[in-house]
Each structure stands twice: as structure tokens, then as C-alpha cells.
Structure 1
């Protein structure tokens, strides 16, 4: 199971953050801190297409695994990354948005479950699974 560590608000540096600025993704705890943060305009960093799926550098999320045997090996990850079916699927803008939404969510498991209801995401996970099973 993946657990999200509590992060401190980057504005007041006191309370746990509950939100992220939609532009720059800085964590903040309240409307007051958000307004203070917005006193200085911020912008979302432009992400080159080839880096679109890189983890967001503003999001620190430790990964906790209940069952170590489910962690993929380097060779499995490389197979997924080099699969032409997976690469082609990742060109779908709807899928890109779903993946970003999961990545930036405070509740990854819930967001993942919602994404599984969308054909594009379900087909993508099938392609990833087929790549792993063909090893």
C-alpha cells in the first residue's frame, strides 16, 4: 500500500499541507496561506513532451510496500519503458491527464480506482500487464 507522508505548508512552515497550488504545486494549508502565496505570481513550469511522465519534483512521496515481492525488477521496468504498445498508448492525451491526476493526488488509490473506470486507462494497464507477462 502506498502511503503519503504529511508535508508542511511551504507558506507558513507550521501546519500540515492539505492542498497544492494549481500553478506551481507548492503545498499550502489554508486559504490564507494560498492568498499570501499568490501575492507573488507563480507559474507552472513548462514540461517538455519527453519529460511529461517524470515525477513532479515538488512532490515528495515515500513509497511503502506491504509485499516486497510485488516490486518490479529493473529488467521488467525496462521492458515496459521500451514496449512500443505502451509508448503508443502514452501518446493519448486523456491517458496523460489521468496519469498526472493520479500522480498529483493526495489519495492515489482512490484516483487510481476512478481511472480504472476509463477505457483508455484500463487498456493502458492491460498493455503494461501483457508486457510483463510476455517476459
Structure 2
């Protein structure tokens, strides 16, 4: 799991519109903005009204800081809470082999290759399936929980 680049304590929820670092709160954004350095790009991007409003100190929201394609991959906060409360996931995480697999994926330089290797492990696949049942439940699962 990635941690806030500024405080190194919490999971980042936002991305700086200028340098793209990830941070967890408005407080961390305020600490970061004084030292912010834009990412080097081959061609300068077109001005973005959202970024202008943010850098000018105007009101902003999470949606302002997310790229359009990131919206599709967002997991609702309620689903994230359900992950943390899942007894099935907690039981799986007692397994030291699974914890080692998760650490190796998290620390890997090439995350895609690390995920491919981890997905060859039945225990990791079971963990991923359990996460997906919570994050993206099928209609059948939703109907069963309503009974």
C-alpha cells in the first residue's frame, strides 16, 4: 500500500495537480505546495481551469484532483470500510505466506510483473477474489445479503 508522500502516515486520497505526488489531506497539501515542483513534460499541457482554481486558493474537491480516467477505478469509501471489517479477509491475512506475497507486490519495482507472479499462488487468488466480492459484488451476492 502506498503512503502519503508528505506525512508518510496515511493512505493518500489525492494527487497534486502540479507534480502528481499523492497526499492524504488538506493539511499535507498545504505543507507540500510551497515545495511543489512541476513534473517535466515533453510538451506543456493546456491550461486547466480546475488547476488554476486550486492554485489560486479557491474551493476544490477530490474530483478536481483526480484525472478523468481515475474516476472509473475509484472504490467508494463504504466498500473500503467493508474490506477493513471483513472477517474472511482478516482470517486470510493471518497467513504469513499471504502477507509476504502482499509485501513483495507492494515493494516491487514492476508492479504488473509482481501481480502476474502473485496470481499464480492459489492463496493470493483467494485473497483477490475475496476483495473483489466486497468491492464489486455480483447482483446475486447483493440479493443474498438483502434476505
Q: TM-score, normalised by structure 1?
A: 0.51
Give the equivalent residue in structure 2 for 1:98: 101
Q: Deviations 1:83-110 (Å, cap 9, x if unpaired)?
A: 0001111111111001000111111111
Cα 1:81–1:111, aligned 2, differ >3 Å: closer, same or farther? same
Is it true that 1:87 corresponds to 2:100 in the alignment?
no
Number of residues of Structure 1 aligned to a counterpart in Structure 2? 82
Contact residue 55 and residue 103 of structure 1 kept, 8 A: no
CA deviation after TM superposition for structure 1 residue 129, in Å: 1.2
> Which runs of 4 or more aligned residues in structure 1 lie more than 6 Å from their structure 2 counterparts after TM superposition?
none
Contact residue 98 and residue 115 of structure 1 kept, 8 A: yes
More helix by share: 2
Give the equivalent residue in structure 2 for 1:36: none
Is it true that 1:112 corresponds to 2:112 in the alignment?
no
Q: Which runs of 5+ in 1 are unaligned?
A: 1-52
CA–CA separation in structure 1 for the residues paired with 2:107 and 2:117:
14
Contact residue 86 and residue 124 of structure 1 kept, 8 A: yes
Q: Any residues of structure 2 matched to 1:36-47 within 5 Å, and which?
A: none
Q: TM-score, normalised by structure 2?
A: 0.47
Is it true that 1:68 corresponds to 2:63 in the alignment?
no
CA–CA separation in structure 2 for the residues paired with 1:115 and 1:55:
22
CA–CA separation in structure 1 for the residues paired with 2:72 and 2:82:
18
Q: Any residues of structure 2 matched to 1:45-60 within 5 Å, and which?
A: 55=3, 57=8
Higher relative contact order (Cα pairs below 8 Å, separated by 6+ residues):
1
1:122 is aligned, of 110, 120, 125, to 125
